[in-house]
Amino acid sequence: MSVSDQSSALPRCPWAGDDALYRHYHDAEWGRPVLSDTRLFEKICLEGFQSGLSWITILRKRERFRAVFHGFDIARVAAMGEADIARLLTDTGIIRHRGKIAATINNAARALEIQREFGSLAAYFWGFETRPEHRPDDLSWAALRLLAQTDASRALSKDLRKRGFKFVGPTTCYAFMQAMGLVNDHTEDCFCRGAVEAERAALTRPTPLRQRPPL
């Protein structure tokens, strides 16, 4: 059996399916803890674009999103304006939704404010990490597929919206938290679960410049 065949035969979370791009995303990215402000900003924006769509649709367009939004450089995106929105509405390589495009630019400006307040987006977002005792005991696919939002994702959504972010509902925020490793929602039988848990255990959480006030 080839290495490729062995990889295909490994037990995965069922949502990864048979698509090679989706499987690679599942194996190499999803759930791995992220501290990069650029990647965190990219993901919260792309989760907003996903609203009403499937993630594989966004994943297939991700490289074009990166190209038109300057690699999700936060300051450069915050400097974009109406002319950029008009241009992007003609770009068939992305999701041409005026509200979501405008929200990305708005959210960049809000992200800069968070960086100034907390020192980094990472310090802010990781402050919403779910405590171990609040995680479910049942990590089967049947249970996890029904877990669309949590107290932590509702708290994050509430705080982001209070700060002026758009397209950051509690379900969107939970998908973001799952993808960026703030929780480990690989199923109990998935071959990635142990590796992700080890990465989370070894992670040094960032210390914010100031503590977030209680909601």
pLDDT tens digit sequence for 138-184: 888 898 888 899 999 999 999 999 999 999 999 999 999 999 999 99
Q: How far apart are CA 160 and CA 178, in angstroms?
A: 17
pTM above the 0.85 mark?
yes
Q: How far apart are CA 192 and CA 93, in angstroms?
A: 31
User: What is the set of active-site residues?
Assistant: 25, 47, 55
**At residue 62, what is the residue type?**
R
Q: What percent of the chain has pLDDT over 70?
A: 94
Among 22, 75, 84, 72, smallest CA distance to 45 is for 72
Residues 6+ apart with CB under 8 A from 105: 77, 78, 80, 81, 84, 85
pLDDT at 201 over 50: yes
pLDDT tens digit sequence for 172-187: 999 999 999 999 999 9
pLDDT tens digit sequence for 78-112: 999 999 999 999 999 999 999 999 999 999 999 99
User: 148 with 174: CB under 8 angstroms?
Assistant: yes
